[in-house]
């Protein structure tokens, strides 16, 4: 399913360790919040899975839940990632939305 | 005899204070910036553009601020603002067509005094004016409609980001501009609300201190250079007028309408007081 949500990636390599930061614009609704206007509960809407792959091979994956804040910033550290390698981040949420973003490690 | 003496003292007080009230903007500016130089002698002038993070005793806040500035969440809002700025109108033009130099490096002169309209014009007003000129729907109902206001804040943030680093330069040569400036100055120094605070109480006298334990107070110098800004508390970009509104409600005073004339004048006064500082908007704030 297509999505209007932004996914931004930033990488920084220092001493052979690459810091990868991913920023996603996502409401991360828990399903417990009440809409102040309609007085009804806002349906849950949160990222469930996010995975990182380097040159097509999965290097990390994570299960996220409702405890994660709105517009989450998620970071991992990669050891020995070569410069020029393609890093792909994919996420999907409980409403079936998903997106992926690619970047080249500098 | 006692009465005459009392009369003389009252007269003396008047004589002492009257030169302050008739000071011209240039003298005000000098005094205002000298006040902070004396209060925080270790802070370099340009650092004031970074808000209260530059002040002594705020090192922990500064450390955190630098960390989340590595990948600030405001980039999400800024990207939306960029998209709005670049999306052409129905007639094929875009926002850049309404501004000299395509909107680049001009935000340092905002807000400005419009001689023809005899009013202070802010960037938000000009962006709305551009929509009107091109027959597009404007951003309206900014007090109640949060989504519209955020979109306008994101657009304004992108407009300001095109002038990042330019030094604030406000033209205040005409008598009308001085009058608007005086209005803003009055608002700045006037006490209001149940807590009986003026803007100056917190942002000059108490600047650099923690209010109520967890609300660090910024120095007035450099206030406007960061706006539209994203506060951690809000998690979204907002306009400076919205900040004024929340500021007023924090001291339990009646807040004015978004885009009201008095807020324009206040922004005009505050921006003039920050003359010479580089623009850092959009920025992250606590």
What residue ranges do the domains of chain B occupy?
2-71+175-285, 75-161
- pLDDT tens per residue across span B211-222: 877 888 889 988
Rg (CA), chain A: 16
Which of B3-12, B31-40, B220-229, B255-264 comes out lowest in average pLDDT? B3-12
What pLDDT is stored for residue A51 in this prediction? Answer: 93
Please give the pLDDT value at position A81.
80
Residue B85, φ and ψ in degrees, nearest 5: -60, -40
Residue A25 backbone class (left: φ over 0; alpha: ψ -120 to 50; beta: rest): beta
Q: CA–CA distance from A45 to each of A31, A34, B125 (Å)? A: 7, 14, 36
Contact between B75 and A73 using a beta-carbon 8 Å cutoff: no
In this prediction, residues B127-141 reach a mean pLDDT of 87
Residue B206 to residue B202: CA distance in whole angstroms: 5
Q: Is B102 on the interface with A (CB under 8 A)?
A: no
Task: Give the number of A-B residue pairs with CB atoms closer than 8 Å.
Answer: 21
B10: pLDDT confidence band, cut at 50, 70 and 90?
Answer: very low
Reference B159, options B93, B237, B232; nearest CA is B237
Provide CB contacts within 8 A for B151, sequence distance 6+: B80, B84, B139
Q: Which residues of B are catalytic?
A: 247
d(C-alpha A1, C-alpha B9), whole Å: 79
Chain B residues with CB-CB distance to A70 below 8 A:
235
CB-based contact A71 B73, cutoff 8 Å? yes
| A52-102 residue pLDDT tens | 998 888 999 999 988 998 889 999 998 888 888 889 999 998 988 888 888
Lowest mean pLDDT among B21-35, B191-205, B248-262: B21-35
Fold of B75-161: Cytochrome Bc1 Complex; Chain D, domain 2 (1.10.760)
| E strands present in chain A | 7-14, 17-24, 47-54, 57-63, 73-79, 86-93, 98-104
pTM over 0.90: no
Domains B2-71+175-285 and B75-161 share a fold: yes
User: What does the block give as tokens for B246?
Assistant: 């929340």
Q: How far apart are CA B192 and CA B48, in angstroms?
A: 26
Report yes or no: A61 at the B interface, CB cutoff 8 Å: no
Among chain B residues, CA nearest to A20: B71
- List the 7-26 stretch of A: residues with Cβ below 8 A of B: 8, 10, 21, 23, 25
Which residues in chain B touch residue A71, judged by CB atoms under 8 angstroms apart?
Answer: 73, 76, 235
Mutual angle of helices B146-161 and B74-86, in 10-degree steps: 80
ipTM over 0.85: no
| CA distances for B88 relative to A59, B85, B126, B185, B203, angstroms | 41, 8, 17, 39, 41
Would you identify the CATH topology of the domain B2-71+175-285?
Cytochrome Bc1 Complex; Chain D, domain 2 (1.10.760)
B74 contacts in A (CB within 8 Å)? none
B144 exposure class (CB count in 10 Å sphere: 0-12, 13-18, 19+): exposed
Nearest-neighbour CA in chain B from A25: distance (Å): 7
**Which residue do the tokens 């004339």 mark?**
B261
pLDDT of B3 reads 54
CB contact under 8 A, A73 and B70: no
Q: Sorting pLDDT into bands at 50, 70 and 90, what band is B2? A: low
Contact A71 B79 (CB under 8 A): no
């Amino acid at each position: 399913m297509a999505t209007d949500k932004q996914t931004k990636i930033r990488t920084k390599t220092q001493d052979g360790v690459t810091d990868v930061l991913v920023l996603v614009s996502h409401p991360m609704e828990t399903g417990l919040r009440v809409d102040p206007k309609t007085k009804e509960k806002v349906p849950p809407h949160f990222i469930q899975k996010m995975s990182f792959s380097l040159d097509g091979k999965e290097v990390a994956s994570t299960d996220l839940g409702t405890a994660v804040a709105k517009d989450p910033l998620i970071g991992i550290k990669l050891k020995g990632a070569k410069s020029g390698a393609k890093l792909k981040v994919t996420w999907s949420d409980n409403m079936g939305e998903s997106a992926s973003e690619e970047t080249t490690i500098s | 005899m006692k009465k005459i003496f009392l009369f003389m003292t009252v007269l003396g007080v008047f004589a002492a204070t009257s030169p302050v009230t008739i000071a011209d903007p240039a003298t005000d500016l000098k005094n205002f910036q000298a006040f902070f130089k004396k209060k925080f002698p270790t802070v370099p002038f340009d650092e004031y553009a970074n808000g209260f993070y530059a002040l002594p005793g705020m090192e922990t806040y500064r450390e955190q601020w630098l960390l989340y500035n590595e990948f600030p969440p405001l980039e999400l809002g800024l990207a939306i603002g960029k998209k709005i700025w670049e999306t052409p109108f129905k007639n094929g033009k875009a926002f850049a067509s309404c501004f000299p130099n395509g909107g680049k490096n001009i935000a340092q002169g905002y807000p400005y005094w419009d001689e023809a309209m005899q009013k202070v014009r802010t960037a938000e007003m000009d962006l709305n004016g551009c929509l009107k000129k091109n027959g597009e729907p404007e951003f309206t109902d900014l007090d109640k409609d949060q989504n519209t206001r955020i979109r306008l804040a994101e657009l304004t943030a992108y407009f300001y980001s095109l002038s990042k680093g330019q030094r604030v330069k406000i033209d205040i040569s005409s008598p009308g501009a001085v009058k608007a400036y005086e209005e803003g100055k009055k608002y700045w120094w006037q006490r209001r609300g149940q807590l009986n605070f003026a803007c100056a109480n917190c942002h000059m006298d108490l600047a650099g201190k923690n209010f109520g334990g967890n609300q660090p107070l910024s120095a007035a110098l450099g206030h406007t250079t960061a706006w539209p800004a994203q506060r951690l508390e809000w998690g979204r970009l907002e306009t400076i007028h919205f900040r004024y509104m929340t500021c007023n409600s924090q001291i339990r005073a009646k807040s004015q309408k978004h885009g009201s004339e008095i807020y324009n004048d206040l922004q005009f006064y505050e921006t003039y007081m920050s003359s010479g500082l580089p623009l850092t908007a959009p920025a992250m704030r606590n």
